[in-house]
Structure 1
């Protein structure tokens, strides 16, 4: 066959017109869209359970959450030591200070009480401190999930206060959070001051009771002393004698003198009876001795032996004196107790000794932004794995 020359070749353009759609191309596009949609639905649980909570947590902690500063103060509760048993011991240890363990627990309970919160609200502007939360709806008061009554305020207050007690050393650590460093330090110092006032107020009733009891003891002792004195006076008026014991002393002296004269007379009588038995002085001496002995007997009867003697009156008088002395000592003891109670009432019974002053924080202590977001991610992923495992088991069981 003879080959054609180049000038004999005519180039013709051929255009293909699609009469029927390309089935293979349409199927490929449809399958791609189906695979994309299937992949989205397959990853939807992961997006909802893991990605969405993590994004919300990141949005809250890095965009909405307000920084909270915490001021800490360490302190111990002290009270004066017990009274010394002697003046020397009082000089040595009467002013000693001891740790008050029970008061430490009371201080902790008060700081976490509604009374302490109300003191901060009325005197230190606690509500204004809470209002500085900004856009942080979880820490604002009143928040969307908390009422604006006192109970809601109390729950919100407990989120800002923390206190720990170390029993071995007796040190309490108070932490107070606020949205500004100065507010945190001011609230911590104010709460400490209110607690000190409260602890000392607890002793007011006991001190008042002690003073009241001491006053009653003084009045009772004074009345008893007056009654005893009246009895002694009535006895003296009735017996016409100031002091029966002194009268008995005179009688005893008289008996002693009469006994001495009797002895001398008996000696003289014996001498005359020996030397001059016929002396006319002998009857006189015998009469004198008899008179002296009779007088001694009468004087002894004045001392005792009859109801009219001095012995019963002396016993009654001494009993009255004993009652008077006891009443006077009771009265003096009551006065001492009253003075001691008044001194105790004037002295501060409990005080808080600061180990460290409330500090001014330099950087916010809360929230833990990155750690919180990572924690949300870890928890969400764990929930997703559990959900996926449970769903797979249910699906496999349904297929069987």
Structure 2
């Protein structure tokens, strides 16, 4: 027990050197601060609250009142489609693959997307459906935000078009989704149907133009090929009339055979002449006769060789080699003209075949729908966005004002 008291006294600092316990001294009392005054609202605080009410609460309340009491109900009609093309190949592709003529591409969808946002479409639908009356069914005096103020100009109608017709285009898949709003469900469906019909007519017009171009170009190529074939055949005919030779190849074969026969006769006659000179006396009339025969055969051989283009130049008429070269050139030109004509005729037949069938068309995977309930304007979403933007703007302005005040 004594040891325990000594330890406690040592810890408390009341134990002297010999081990005696000293009495504790009272500690001085710390000075007491007065309590903080109760917080009070200052003028700047009331200003912040007032600014919140004016900038955020009051506009949000006015927006809510307008959305639920003044904004007219809007009905939505949805449709979705894409540009498709046929992949059926013509049987004429067996002749060299020359009929890949139905070349539709994603540019068709791009063109259609631009057409759906064009003034031409808006003006056309206004004449057909009277868009001004359709979109002004909601009283503009009661709902000046969402209703269209008729009559307006075509520019006003085009500016109002994106608010009521939303066009979504997926360039990767080539799909177009359209949402049409109107103040009557049947009007929304009629407008959506009209947009689909105009889009179909536009794609058909593109197909018709492409088919007409294909047929026209193919017809021009065919006409050129026919004219070239006529000229080539006429040139061959003129050559035959001028040379009196129907087939130079057959004639040259005959001439070569005749030349070979003459050379054979010449060789036989020369051998006979040599034998005659060796077996008879000088001045024998038979020797002169055989010698004359040799010279005649040699002259004929020389003449036939000149006809074939062999030997010295200067012979009368044209050599067979020259005639044969000209004839071969004309035949090659005629064959090329015939092949060109065959290809042009196949292309023309293919173009006509493509014209008989619809190579590209508009495929709707969502037909224009008919709304049963009003979904737009989305009042809760609009009020939430308005409140969010007002609050963010108010908070930023308040922080700026506070920071400027603290820097003074």
Q: TM-score, normalised by structure 1?
A: 0.69
| Number of corresponding residues | 350
C-alpha displacement of 1:148: 0.1
Superimposed CA distance per residue, residues 4-47 of structure 1 (whole angstroms, 9 cap, x where no aligned partner): xxxxxxxxxxxxxxxxxxxxxxxxxxxxxxxxxxxxx9998777
CA distance in 1, matches of 2:245, 2:403: 117
CA distance in 1, matches of 2:49, 2:235: 108
Confirm whether residue 171 of structure 1 aligns to residue 175 of structure 2.
Answer: yes
Give the corresponding residue for 1:115: 120
Matching residue within 73, 76, 85 for 1:79: 85
Confirm whether residue 61 of structure 1 aligns to residue 67 of structure 2.
Answer: yes
CA distance in 2, matches of 1:98, 1:314: 47
Give the corresponding residue for 2:366: 356
Give the corresponding residue for 2:324: 314
Give the corresponding residue for 1:189: 193
Superimposed CA distance per residue, residues 142-194 of structure 1 (whole angstroms, 9 cap, x where no aligned partner): 26xxx700000011111111122234433322222222333323322321231
Give the corresponding residue for 1:212: 216
CA distance in 2, matches of 1:349, 1:335: 21
CA distance in 1, matches of 2:116, 2:376: 21
Look up the SS of the partner of 1:354 in the other structure: strand
C-alpha displacement of 1:301: 2.0
CA distance in 2, matches of 1:297, 1:379: 111
Which consecutive aligned stretches of 4+ in structure 1 deviate over 6 angstroms post-superposition?
41-47, 82-85, 270-274, 279-282, 381-397
- Greater fraction helix: 1
Look up the SS of the partner of 1:159 in the other structure: helix
Q: TM-score, normalised by structure 2?
A: 0.68
Q: Contact 1:196–1:350 at 8 Å: present in 2 too?
A: no
Superimposed CA distance per residue, residues 122-158 of structure 1 (whole angstroms, 9 cap, x where no aligned partner): 3344334323335533232226xxx700000011111
C-alpha displacement of 1:381: 6.2
Q: Counterparts of 1:337-352 in structure 2 under 5 Å?
A: 337-352=347-362
Matching residue within 221, 241, 247 for 1:243: 247
Q: Contact 1:78–1:98 at 8 Å: present in 2 too?
A: no
Q: Contact 1:77–1:99 at 8 Å: present in 2 too?
A: no
Specify whether residues 60 and 88 from structure 1 end up closer, same or farther in structure 2 by C-alpha distance, changes over 3 A only. farther
Specify whether residues 99 and 65 from structure 1 end up closer, same or farther in structure 2 by C-alpha distance, changes over 3 A only. farther
Q: Counterparts of 1:326-337 in structure 2 under 5 Å?
A: 326-337=336-347
Q: Contact 1:99–1:170 at 8 Å: present in 2 too?
A: no
RMSD: 4.3
List runs of 5+ in structure 2 lacking aligned partners. Answer: 1-46
CA distance in 2, matches of 1:396, 1:228: 100
CA distance in 2, matches of 1:354, 1:386: 48
Give the corresponding residue for 1:100: 105
Give the corresponding residue for 1:372: 382
Specify whether residues 44 and 166 from structure 1 end up closer, same or farther in structure 2 by C-alpha distance, changes over 3 A only. closer
C-alpha displacement of 1:118: 2.1
CA distance in 2, matches of 1:64, 1:200: 44
Give the corresponding residue for 2:238: 234
CA distance in 2, matches of 1:52, 1:138: 18
Give the corresponding residue for 1:9: none
Confirm whether residue 161 of structure 1 aligns to residue 132 of structure 2.
Answer: no
Q: Contact 1:272–1:282 at 8 Å: present in 2 too?
A: no
CA distance in 1, matches of 2:48, 2:87: 75
CA distance in 2, matches of 1:378, 1:294: 118
